[in-house]
Structure 1
Amino acid sequence: MSEHSRGAAGRRIDYDVLVVGGGINGAGIARDASGRGLRVVLCEKDDLAQHTSSASSKLIHGGLRYLEQYHFGLVRKALAEREVLLKSGPHIMRPLRFVMPHASSAGMRPAWMIRAGLFLYDHLARRDFLPGSEALSLRDHPAGSPLQPQFSRAFAYSDAWVDDARLVVLAAIDARERGARILTRTRCTQLVREPQRWVATLQGVDESLRVHARCLVNAAGPWAADFLGLAGGTGKPARTLRLVKGSHIVVPRLFAHDSAYILQQPDGRIVFAIPYEGAYTLVGTTDVDYRGDLDRVAIDDAELDYLCGAVNRAFAQRIGVEDVVWSYAGVRPLIEDAAGSASGASRDYRLETDREGAPLLSVFGGKVTTFRKLAEQAVDWIAPALGRRVPGWTDQACLPGGDLFGRQPSARGVRQFEAWTRTRQQQYAALPPALVARYARAYGTRLGTMLGPCRSRADLGAEIVPGLFEVEADWLVKQEWAQTADDILWRRTKLGLHLPSPARPDATRRLDAWLAAWAARRGASAPAAVLRALEK
């Protein structure tokens, strides 16, 4: 890799691939490409996973409802990925059982249709360890106790849960460790296409870089179609994007067991109610066409009412807007098709390629579950286009921290994660067990590297905000690109959720002050977002 000084104009860096976009697809492509020996740089204008990729329903799933839209290829592809991903990252993913309550009332799909759909769901792709579907009597099953009495039976099936924001960060870490350069808070401001290369200007907080790249990957998510205009209209997409907002709410725990619910709605949609962060239930999602500011996406009153209504139609415990302790929203960049409703638009992805000059690959659509397969297919095109014919590898690789029982992904890590965690709690017996369990979930086998010589609570350093000690904050800044309180409290961890609402602004200011001091000690500039927060 060559770097040449360019004085005030910034440095010039030569790479094989420039990836624009630090969501799950961009990070996945950077990971796969760097693992095949390509020189990769990724730039993201904000934080990793700051937008769509941290605003999902946190599921690794085939998408049961897509079967009735005849999207069999998408469901099969996603189902095949479930166990591949689970085995690669058993610390940030886990199997999750879903319960679909059923009653003979308007708006419910008939029982025969559900049975047929679940039969397909069980058999469209191989399952090595996830149990199949079954019918339940809710009169004598724990899943029945929180529900209203009209639900006497249900159907249960398997999918999985994922910490979506950490998945993005771990993919980026893997890419970096294989040679990629990850530049957060760095915007691509100019592009020039030449016959054999792209010349890009990347503007960071403190410096400007001039990048020469043999191939450009447009993984800008909701901004993907607009980003093509930066190259003077080059590579206009064959299909336009349909921008659909999905919103979620978090409320105090509605049920005590570990299964999730999939709730049928009168309008034909479904809403999930998922155990979340121990003390809470995550409810979502909505599907609303969106035309607003992509940098300021938020739930609206109609969506709040919709999700509260979904809960109140199913559960004995009623909720209102006042019970919502947190909400988040993101915009999904879906491929425009003939679907009349936003919920009916395809969740599949499309890779559009352009060889009229230096290679260009644009990613449209996609979902968290299929990110690895999408990246593999993308690099299957990129690598030969750059003269490097190396096969894919990510289906046989653990994500950072996922190698609980060896370097090869295995079902053992999924099945025995709790036992592995108990061993870590014994190893760090002087630390609070709940804290070690959280570290195990976040960092997997890298827990020991993060803690270093720490063996007592005093070794962890000061507790900056409740649950966050200096040793972890230092790791997140140095190893995981965290620069602001929001990066740490809401994406790298979910500690922000566990702070009482009145205490959150003060905790944010304290953490931003610590981050500013951290940067000052190392002679670096504090991020602009930190300085703005401290001025308030």
Structure 2
Amino acid sequence: MLVVGGGINGAGIARDLAGRGQRVLLVEKDDLAQHTSSSSTKMIHGGIRYLEYYEFSLVRKALAEREVLLRSAPHIIRPLRLVMPHEPSMRPVWMMRIGLFLYDHLARREVLPGSQTIDLRHGPIGAALQPRYRKGFAFSDGWVDDARLVVLNAVDAAERGAEVLTRWRCIDARRAGALWQVVLEGPGGESRQVSARALVNAAGPWAAQFLREHAHVPDSKSLRLVKGSHIVVRKLYDHDHAYVLQSPDRRIIFVIPYEGEFTLIGTTDVEHRGPVGQARIDDGEIAYLCEQASRYLRRPVTPADVVWSYAGVRPLLEDEASDASAVTRDYQLDLDTRGAPLLTVWGGKMTTFRKLAEEAADLLTPPLGISAGAWTRDAYLPGGDLAGWIGAPQRPDTDIQRFSQAVALRHDDLPAALCRRLARDYGSRVEALLSDGLGEPVVPGLHEAELRYLHEHEWARSADDVLWRRTKLGLHLSEAQRAAVAEWCETHWRHDAAAAAHAPSTLGRTETTWN
């Protein structure tokens, strides 16, 4: 099986197929999660605003996945409590209560608490808001380290026998009887020819282009490319809740605690007309996000406050919606069996990736005679099984706290903040980093052992791969420190770049702007 596209859907499908005993090759033209999949709002959520568009099936499916994913990777996914201040000029109270009732009951919950009405006149949650907001609605969703979620799916796929090639392009794919004959091009221009029983097009925003230009198949769907941009500012408040802010244009803006010292604000929904890989936030989007946050928060947000920004292009199924924010976030899988099977993924969102991958593998089962069935619902992602450290799992949200404490006790020579970060980034695989010591620090908080681990096991090939995807340390380092990491990576990884391209595990990069 050849899977083209190393975003969340491609990595998830490769993992599912490999776990069913199939021989899988995953090809990504850049780095894993380099584009859309690392440019999300970093939430595992049902999508409460989609209820307004009557997308009950999508919301139910996404709600059901929240706790499945939380149990599979408690180190990189955690519960998030959100507060929506009531703005009388927007949606009325009765509408909010009906929506939250549906959100609570469309799918079963065991870990995440239900919604409630809260008084914003007292306590730290209301203190961060302007005094005119007196009532709010609290509900639960999840937060995820999106790029690491992609990486861990690829790691799991590789450990189940898949081969992962990053920075390799699929430049030509043609049916030849019952097989696909495919030409791949490597980072140095080298060529590789492979045969595959099935081709999975999980190229995200490039899906239609891939069909036309490389698979020589007419694209059957129309994608609407919508740019979503985010800004990051210094921490705006001290509690751990996020805010859901209603804007006059009926969009929703999230304000989320991020990386301890920062606040993440997003997203926009803007039609993207240029090259897919060159999405950038513009001044208008920055001003819009600052304005919407400042309408609610006691502390105003200005463009001068922005320390980091990123933008990605979402490949949404065209449904003729007049407003980009109203375009469906659901997905569709098209299986073409006129010859060797071709499966194309249209649309999708981070929260439903596992279910999408399961459905994709199920579709390929009959034409390819796959005997193994679905397996991922109860499986851990790498690092998610904490039982060896804390015994039988209880609740994923408390299990990770107990695990972090256990790591700190075992490695009491490490700074507490470093120990906590490593525990949450690597989960139960943290011992692979710590068993022989971390080695020399390259910059504060980043040591040689971690860089070697990311290179050898998670396909990191550049400083950007490390600082902005596999970790978010780029936010915490100075320009000089980021340059020091880049110099270390160039010095130590330059000579084995060609060999690394063929390594059985490989990773990704987002478009970022640092101010």
Which residue among 457, 470, 487 is the counterpart of 1:513? Answer: 487
Q: Match of 2:421, SS?
A: helix
- Tell me, in whole angstroms, the C-alpha distance in 2 between the residues paired with 1:523 and 1:299: 31
Q: Which amino acid aligns with 2:246?
A: Q
Give, in angstroms, the shift of residue 231 of structure 1.
4.5
- Residue matched to 2:19: 35
In 1, the alpha carbon distance for the partners of 2:434 and 2:276 equals 37
Contact residue 189 and residue 201 of structure 1 kept, 8 A: yes
SS at match of 1:295: helix
| Residue 23 of structure 1 pairs with residue 7 of structure 2 | yes
Q: Are the counterparts in 2 of residues 137 and 152 from structure 1 also a CA contact under 8 Å?
A: yes
1:466 to 444, 469, 473: 444
Q: Is the contact made by 1:516 and 1:526 (CA closer than 8 Å) also made in structure 2?
A: no
Q: Which residue identity is paired with 1:319?
A: V
SS of aligned partner of 1:325? strand
Q: Tell me the distance in 1 between the aligned counterparts of 2:15 and 2:497.
A: 30
2-structure distance, mates of 1:522, 1:234: 37
**1:423 CA drift (Å):** 1.2
Q: Which whole-Å deviations, capped at 9, do the CAs of 1:337-377 have from their partners, x for residues lacking one?
A: 03110000000000011011100000010000000000000
Superimposed CA distance per residue, residues 443-472 of structure 1 (whole angstroms, 9 cap, x where no aligned partner)? 000000122222xxxxx2222223211010
Residues 222-271 of structure 1, C-alpha deviations (whole Å, 9 max, x = no match): 0000000134641522x200000000000111110011000010111110
The Cα shift of 1:516 comes to 2.6
Alpha-carbon deviation of 1:414?
2.6
| Alignment partner of 1:497 is 2:471 | no
Match of 2:223 in 1: 241
Counterpart-to-counterpart distance in 2, 1:392 and 1:346: 26
Contact 2:117 / 2:137 at 8 angstroms: preserved in 1?
Answer: yes
Residue number among 98, 107, 110 corresponding to 2:82 in the alignment? 98
Partner of 2:201: 218
> Which shows bigger deviation, 367-376 or 185-194?
185-194
| 2:143 counterpart of 1:167 | no
Superposed CA RMSD in Å reads: 1.9
Q: Which region of structure 1 is more displaced relative to structure 2, 203-212 or 134-143?
A: 203-212
Give the secondary structure class of the aligned counterpart of 1:304.
helix
**2:405 counterpart letter in structure 1:** R
Structure 2: segments with no counterpart, 5+ residues: 502-507, 510-515
Question: Matched residues in 2 for 1:222 and 1:215: separation?
Answer: 21
Matched residue, 1:12: none
Distance 1:424 1:210, change over 3 A: same
Alpha-carbon deviations, 1:64-112, whole Å to 9, x = none? Answer: 00001000000000000000000000000000000000132x2x10000
1:152-180 CA-partner distances (Å, limit 9, x unpaired) = 01000000000000000000000000000
Number of the residue aligned with 1:457 = none
2:25 partner letter: V
Separation of aligned partners in 2, 1:172 and 1:246? 25
**1:415 positional shift:** 2.3
C-alpha displacement of 1:385: 1.7
Confirm or deny: 8 A CA contact 2:335 2:341 kept in the other structure. yes
Distance 1:128 1:232 in 2: 44
Alpha-carbon distance change, 266 to 523 in structure 1, aligned in 2, over 3 angstroms: closer
What TM-score results when the alignment is normalised by the length of structure 1? 0.91
Match of 1:482 in 2: 460
1:111 counterpart residue number: 93
Deviates more, 1:439-448 or 1:409-418: 409-418
Give 1:286's match in structure 2, choosing from 257, 268, 271.
Answer: 268
Match of 1:534 in 2: none
**What do residues 258-288 of structure 1 show as CA deviations (whole Å, max 9, x unaligned)?**
1100001011111000000001100000000
2:197 aligns to what SS in structure 1? strand
User: Who is 1:13 aligned against?
Assistant: none
Supply the distance in 1 between the matched residues of 2:399 and 2:120 (Cα, whole angstroms).
Answer: 29
> Counterparts of 1:86-485 in structure 2 under 5 Å?
86-104=70-88, 106=89, 108-206=90-188, 207-231=190-214, 233-237=216-220, 239-405=221-387, 412-454=395-437, 460-485=438-463
Distance in 2 of aligned mates of 1:261 and 1:171: 29
CA contact (8 A) 2:8 2:37 kept: yes
Q: Which has the higher contact order (CA 8 A, sep 6+)?
A: 2
What corresponds to 2:512 in structure 1?
none
Shift of 1:383: 2.6
Partner of 1:62: 46
Answer whether contact 1:23 1:53 (CA < 8 A) is retained.
yes
Instruction: Return the offset for 1:332.
Output: 0.2
**C-alpha distance 336-411 of structure 1, shift in aligned 2 (>3 A):** farther
Structure 1: any 5+ residue segments left out of the alignment?
1-16, 455-459, 531-536
The Cα of 1:384 is off from its aligned counterpart by 2.4
Q: Deviations over 1:129-170 (max 9, x none)?
A: 110000000112321001001100100000000000000000
How many residue pairs align between the two structures?
A: 501
How far did residue 413 of structure 1 move?
Answer: 3.1
1:51 matched residue in structure 2: 35
How do residues 5-24 of structure 1 correspond to structure 2 at under 5 angstroms?
17-24=1-8
- Please give the alpha-carbon distance, in whole angstroms, between the structure 1 residues aligned to 2:125 and 2:116: 13
Please name the residue that 2:505 is paired with.
Answer: none
Work out the CA distance in 2 between the residues paired with 1:371 and 1:523. Answer: 31
Tell me the distance in 2 between the aligned counterparts of 1:80 and 1:406: 27
Q: Cα deviation per residue 1:295-350 (whole Å; 9 max; x = unaligned)? A: 21110111001100011100110121110000000000000003110000000000
Q: SS of the counterpart of 1:266?
A: coil
- Cα distance, 1:526 vs structure 2: 8.9
CA distance, structure 1, for counterparts of residue 166 and residue 429 of structure 2 = 22
**1:214/1:358 contact within 8 Å kept:** yes
Q: Deviation per CA, 1:367-407, whole angstroms, max 9, x where unpaired?
A: 00000000000000113221112110000100000001269
Of 179-188 and 140-149, deviating more is 140-149
Following superposition, the deviation at residue 420 of structure 1 comes to: 1.4
Provide the rounded CA distance (Å) in 2 between the counterparts of 1:144 and 1:94: 23
Mapped to 1, the partners of 2:35 and 2:229 lie a distance apart of 12
Deviation at 1:427, TM superposition (A): 0.5
Moved over 4 A (4+): 406-411, 520-527
CA separation of 1:523 and 1:214: change in aligned 2, threshold 3 A:
closer
